[in-house]
Amino acid sequence: MDKDFLTKRAGAFTSSEIYKLVARHKKTGEYLVSRDTYINKVFMELQYNCPMSSYGDSRPTIWGKLLEKWYMAQIELGTPTPTDTLTHPDCPLWKGTPDMIYKQEKMVGDLKCPSDLERFAIAYECKGDIDKLRATYKEGEKYYWQLMSNAVLTGSDKCKLVFYVPSEADIEEPKTGIRAYSDDGEGKHHWVLFSNYYELPHVPKESSLPNQVVIEWQVDKIERQQLINDVLSAAEKVTSKLFPIKKTKKNEERLS
């Protein structure tokens, strides 16, 4: 992952990880341990002024980023707005980087490019139902709250989640296909360039599986407010740890 990208988002609650702040125990309704762990991570990033995450990219991540370039350049219909990292106006610790913003429709979108067909097929089996995706897909809750967070940051009323896997035709032609986008000058994509097309994730010609799944939903106002409350309370915890009130007799009298 790009070092500048990580540094820009360090010390903040990001849309891609925001699900950790809202996750609750199904029976008790209490927050999961992941919330406190995430709050502490953001605190440490601010305290030490550096990301707590690795700068390295795995092959699935590299492949996904490559497909995003291809999708935006060749397939995406309409005119989504290119975006940089956004910050909530009332909460500097809340950031997000949407893949797509459709201003006219007041909709925010995100693109997911699974590194294997099984995960893509599971998303397809949800038949456009976001509730089913949340219940059956491993990253369903993560993706849902990522888009809900970006909806808050962009003032959007709708969310659009796109799953994409290239077709065989898009992979097998190096000059006009996906591999033409893989020369980044850093050598990250060499394994793609030197792979046979059948070694890369794709939908074969003979398959009846589509190579794109789109799930759209209206932003739920109650869950939107729940998200806002959860993030703001987490931000307050980080701030109080960074700037603790000293225990003096005068402060104790003021707080009592």
| 91/147 Cα distance (integer angstroms) | 18
Of 90, 21, 43, 35, the closest CA to residue 240 belongs to 43
54-107 pLDDT tens trace: 666 788 888 888 888 888 877 765 556 666 889 999 999 999 999 999 989 999
Residues 147-190 have pLDDT tens digits of 999 999 999 999 999 999 999 988 887 667 888 877 766 677 88
- Domain of 77 in residue numbering reads as 3-255
Which DSSP category does 97 fall into? -
Give the HSE-up count for residue 20: Cα atoms under 13 Å, Cβ half-sphere: 16
Closest CA to 95 of 220, 221, 235: 235
pLDDT at residue 146 is higher than 90: yes
Across 211-229, b (16+ Cβ under 10 Å) vs e yields bbbebebebeeeeeeebbe
For residue 116, give every residue at least 6 positions away whose Cβ sits within 8 Å of its Cβ, in sequence order, or none: 201
pLDDT, greater one: 43 or 60: 43
Domain CATH for 137: 3.90.320.10
Number of domains the chain contains = 1
pTM of the model: 0.87
- What pLDDT score does 251 carry? 46
pLDDT value of position 221: 96
Backbone angles phi, psi at 227, to 5 degrees: -60, -45
Q: What are phi and psi of 145, to 5 degrees?
A: -75, -25
